[in-house]
Amino acid sequence: MTKVSFSSQGLILSYSLQAHDLILNGSLTTARSFQNDPTLGHFFEALYIHTAPMWRQEGPHYDYAFVIMDPELEGMCGMDTACVLCFFSFKAGSIFYPCAIMRWFDHLGEAPDELTRMWMVHPSFTSNHQCNLAVIHIDTIFHAAHLIPIYGQDCVLQEILPCHSYDTFYGFYVNKFADHHTFEIVY
């Protein structure tokens, strides 16, 4: 039997699960409603977020996402950025919990960078220098995120594969130009 604990809006819930109650998933697909122009009405866009320990035999591939932390605040002030390490779900009693394991990123500063107009983030660590991880309900995932490394002055070594870039660099720009929806929500 496995003991699983996760927090949701400040409450800690613990369940003892049998192995057959736990299901691992490699991706999340959801539809979001967007309205850019009131005269055009609403339209839906599919959102795909993937996690793969081995992608095309080249290395791991983990997508990034914006997670709603405070729905009362707008833009990045109400969201955090995180790497999605795993999707899983479990059933406790008659309740089904779709969850994700996230690696958090902290904001660098209280506003976007003045030069690029993009927010900057860096990996978050606990007080004992461990990656800051959490289990969250997937309903708090708002949209996929794209991060661009803050390269600095030195040349990037050719040996650095894309799958290792998030472990190589210390800071990242939150790419608000990834798509028009991201441009509207990352301010």
- pLDDT tens-digit profile of 163-177? 788 888 999 999 999
The structural domains of the chain, ordered by start, are: 2-185 (2.30.30)
State the sign of the Cα–Cα–Cα–Cα dihedral 95, 48, 46, 25.
Answer: negative
Q: Find, among 24, 15, 30, the residue nearest to 53 by Cα.
A: 24
Across 47-73, average pLDDT: 85
Percent of the chain with pLDDT over 90: 42
Q: What is the mean pLDDT of residues 69-82?
A: 95
Q: Model pTM? A: 0.77
The mean pLDDT value for 58-80 works out to 92
